[in-house]
Structure 1
C-alpha cells in the first residue's frame, strides 16, 4: 500500500509498471475504489508507468468532512502527480473521474497530454437531483440508493453474476461522507466552457446501457474538443471496464498507440 501525504489529505495510490515509462493515470467513479481498473491494467501496452488512486472519501484514502468541490478533487490529483514527478500523462477518468480529467487538463496542461473522458460529462445531472441523493445518503447511508445505483451501473445480464455482488459490496462500503461530499462536487460542476477550450488528443467512451451518463451526454461532451474520438461499448452500463474489459482495453490501447504514448 502506498499513501501520499499531500498536506490536507492522504491519498491511497498505486504506482506500477516501468518507472521510466510514459505515465498513464486512472481516476475512478463515485462509489468505487481504484480496483475499478483491475481488468484493464494487465492488458495495457508494455513499458507504461501506471498510476491509480482513490479520490478523497473513497477506498483507503482519507475521508474529510464534506462537502467537497470539484476544484479540490482536481487539486488532489494535481498534487499527487506533482508529488510523483509525473508530467505529460495520458489521464483516464470515468464518471466523476472524467470530470477530474477535464478540470486537470484545463488547469495543468503540463500534466496531461491526452485525455480519456469515460462515462462522464461536462455537466452531470441537476442540482436538485444531487440534493435529493445527498439527502437520502445522509439519512439512510449509501444503502438507501444502492439498488438504483446498481441498475444504472450494470446492464441486466451482469446482475446475475457473482461479481455483481462484490461491486455492490464495494458501493456499500463507501463512506457516507465521501459519497455525499463527491456528489456535491459533481452537483456544482459545469465544464462545458473550459472543456471546449481543450486542444489535446481526446477520447470519449460510453456504455450503451449506461443509466448515469447516457451515450448522448458523453458524445456531446467529447465533441466539445476538436479532433476527438467517440466509442460506444455494447452490453455495458456505467462501468464498462468491469463488464466489457476486453472491448474497453482494445479501445483504450488503440488510443494510447494512436497518440504515440508508448
Structure 2
C-alpha cells in the first residue's frame, strides 16, 4: 500500500501502468473507494500510468473532522500530484469525483491535459436531500451505512444489471457499508455545498461529459448542462444508472480512451 502524507493525515493511492506513459488520475464517487475503477484498469493501463486514490474520508485514506469542501478535496489531488512529481495529468472523476474534476478544471487547469466528468452535475441535490442523510449517518453510525448500502443498489445500477451481475453489484455496494460514517457525512457536506453553475465557462481544457440514461441521482440533463457551457466539450451517454463505469464497463473504457488518445 502506498500513502502520501498531507498536513493532517495520509492519502492512500495506487499507481499502475507503464512508467513513461501519460498519467491518468481516477477519482471515486461518494461512498466507494479506488477499487470502483477495477473494471477499467486492464484497458487503461495499456495506454496510461493510472493513478487511483481514496478520496479523504474513504477507503484507507485519512478521516478528518468535517464538513469537507470540494476545494479541500481538489487540493488533496494537487498535493498528491506534487508529492509524486506529476506536473500535468488527465483526470477522470465520477459523481463527487466529477465535482472535484470541475473544481480542478476551473481552478487548476494548468495541471490538467484532458478532463472527464461522469455521472455528475454542476450542482447535485440541495440541503433538503443532504442534511437528513448527514444527520442519520452521524447519529446511527455503521448501521446507517449498511442501510445506505442496501438502498444504493437501485440508485447505482439498473434492475437488469443488478439481476444479471449480483456479485459485481455487491462488490461495489459493500464499499459503502465499509466507509467511515464520519468521512461519509463530511463528504456529503462537500457535495451539498458545491455549485459550479456560474463558473463552468472557466474550464478551458478538453472536456468529455459522460452520463447514464437511467441515472436518477445525476440525470443526463445535468451532463448536458455542463457540456453546453464548456466550449468544445464532448458528451457521451450509456444505458446505466449512477455508476456508468461499472455498468457500461468496456464501452465506457473505450469511449474514455478514444477521447484521451485523440489529437
Q: Which residue is 1:157 aligned to?
A: 160
Given the two structures, how large is their TM-score scaled by the length of structure 1?
Answer: 0.94
Q: 2:184 pairs with 179, 182, 185, which one? A: 179
The Cα of 1:47 is off from its aligned counterpart by 4.1
Q: Which residue is 2:237 aligned to?
A: 232
Q: Secondary structure at the match of 1:13?
A: strand
| Superimposed CA distance per residue, residues 190-209 of structure 1 (whole angstroms, 9 cap, x where no aligned partner) | 01122221111100001111
Mapped to 2, the partners of 1:198 and 1:35 lie a distance apart of 28
The Cα of 1:72 is off from its aligned counterpart by 0.8
Q: Secondary structure at the match of 1:39?
A: helix
Q: Which residue is 1:207 aligned to?
A: 212
Given the two structures, how large is their TM-score scaled by the length of structure 2?
Answer: 0.94
- Structure 2: unaligned runs, 5 residues or longer: none
The Cα of 1:32 is off from its aligned counterpart by 0.4
CA contact (8 A) 1:119 1:213 kept: yes
More helix by share: 2
The Cα of 1:253 is off from its aligned counterpart by 0.9
Residues 1:167 and 2:182 aligned together: no
Q: Which residue is 2:228 aligned to?
A: 223
Q: 1:172 to 1:78 in 2, by over 3 A?
A: same
The Cα of 1:152 is off from its aligned counterpart by 0.9
Mapped to 2, the partners of 1:186 and 1:164 lie a distance apart of 23
Which piece of structure 1 moves more, 190-199 or 23-32? 190-199
Mapped to 2, the partners of 1:158 and 1:47 lie a distance apart of 28
Q: 2:147 pairs with 144, 148, 158, which one? A: 144
Residues 1:38 and 2:43 aligned together: no
Number of residue pairs matched by the alignment: 258
- Structure 1: unaligned runs, 5 residues or longer: none
The Cα of 1:255 is off from its aligned counterpart by 0.3
Mapped to 2, the partners of 1:20 and 1:186 lie a distance apart of 35
Mapped to 2, the partners of 1:208 and 1:35 lie a distance apart of 23
Q: Secondary structure at the match of 1:110?
A: helix
CA contact (8 A) 1:27 1:55 kept: yes
